[in-house]
A and B are shown apart, each in its own frame.
Chain A
């Protein structure tokens, strides 16, 4: 009986120690966000990955993989890489990784979590896997929709002026012709009177 109690107490102490070592290990937090207000087809879509090593120790061999979220047939990669890696991230460090893509299609698109793998110690090859936050369902608007709200419309105004000008120029031309004819008549009369 006494033997069992000591064994129980001993095992509790050991498990307590292991729980404490869990607290001392680092954890990598990864957030994935877009800085765009609107996501427009054929315009740049900027994705920002923030990695934060919260723990007291360094993490090694960090590998972020987000190739599955943005397939090549729907998105074109302009800047950055969707599969970056860092050899080590020190404790209490905040990192940013920026990727710029260009959506090829419009409509609703779903983007899932990025997968991040890292090692908690250099010697221990055990790989810890974590997931970033996700952006979720986004609506990619067509470039026409965006232009309707935000483009400078100069071409539209030029076209409008070209279409409205016959209404204005044609009566003006008629008036100008008759005015110049009338003025010519008046000057002829005046010169004729003077001659008399």
Chain B
């Protein structure tokens, strides 16, 4: 009887301690798009992880430009992970899609244990999301005053031509 209880408890603990199985990642990225309103670029990816079975990973680490940092979690709404990226100038934040590899506790500890470059590359990441930065805009190429001046200039030139014809 006692053994049965112990076995049941062990099974219960095993199931609860199971890590996330076949996770699906969804990343929503947001970045500074207006070059006149902002001085420096900043981007953020909001990651949601859906596990088929098992519980949500307690910590998630993200590999941004070679540096592995822990992801922030919201204290008020669990299940969402945030990764922030900042750069000094707008040119330094890469335009387009940047892959961000994600690691959970297990893969992160094996990453830390890896000493050579090959071992580091051999570590299988937990998942991957993308940071999508559409680029920075500094306003329209030609100001609207240019179009206004050219339109009025054309009208004036047509009138001047007609006047010359009449006077000559």
Interface membership of A104, Cβ < 8 A: no
Out of A79, A80, A96, A157, which one reaches B85, CB within 8 Å? A96
Interface membership of A98, Cβ < 8 A: yes
**Contact residues, B136-156 vs A (CB, 8 A):** 139-140, 143-145, 147-148, 151, 155
CA distance A9 to B101 in the complex (A): 55
Q: Measured between C-beta atoms, what is the minimum distance from B88 to chain A in Å?
A: 11
Select from chain A the residue with minimum beta-carbon distance to B71: A86
Is A80 a contact partner of B70 (Cβ separation < 8 A)?
Answer: no
CA distance A160 to B86 in the complex (A): 43
Out of B42, B75, B140, which one reaches A48, CB within 8 Å? B42
Residues of chain A within 8 A of B49, CB atoms compared:
none
Size category of the binding interface on chain B: 35 or more
Is A80 a contact partner of B147 (Cβ separation < 8 A)?
Answer: no
Q: Mark B79-122, 1 if CB is under 8 A from A, else 0.
A: 01010111000000000000000000000000000000000000
Is A85 a contact partner of B75 (Cβ separation < 8 A)?
Answer: yes
CA distance A99 to B84 in the complex (A): 9
Interface membership of B77, Cβ < 8 A: yes
**Contact residues, A157-186 vs B (CB, 8 A):** 157, 160-161, 168, 172
- From B77, B145, B148, residue with most partner A Cβ within 10 Å: B148
Chain B, interface SS category: mixed
Interface membership of A83, Cβ < 8 A: yes
Q: Measured between C-beta atoms, what is the minimum distance from A59 to chain B in Å?
A: 11
Size category of the binding interface on chain A: 35 or more
Interface membership of B168, Cβ < 8 A: no
State whether A84 and B82 are in contact (beta carbons under 8 Å apart), knowing that A95-B70, A98-B43, A152-B144 are contacts in the complex: yes
Is A37 a contact partner of B70 (Cβ separation < 8 A)?
Answer: no
Is A150 a contact partner of B86 (Cβ separation < 8 A)?
Answer: no
Q: Measured between C-beta atoms, what is the minimum distance from A107 to chain B in Å?
A: 19
Is B38 a contact partner of A35 (Cβ separation < 8 A)?
Answer: yes
Interface membership of B59, Cβ < 8 A: yes
Interface membership of B32, Cβ < 8 A: yes
Select from chain B the residue with minimum beta-carbon distance to A160: B148
Interface membership of B128, Cβ < 8 A: no
User: Which residues of B pack against A, CB within 8 Å?
Assistant: 30, 32, 34, 36-44, 46, 58-59, 67, 69-77, 80, 82, 84-86, 139-140, 143-145, 147-148, 151, 155, 159
9 additional A-B residue pairs with CB within 8 Å, beyond A48-B40, A80-B82, A154-B144: A36-B38, A37-B36, A50-B86, A81-B72, A84-B72, A94-B69, A98-B44, A98-B85, A100-B30
Could you give 12 example pairs across A and B, Cβ below 8 Å? Answer: A35-B32, A37-B38, A48-B42, A80-B44, A83-B75, A84-B75, A86-B71, A86-B73, A87-B58, A95-B84, A150-B139, A172-B159
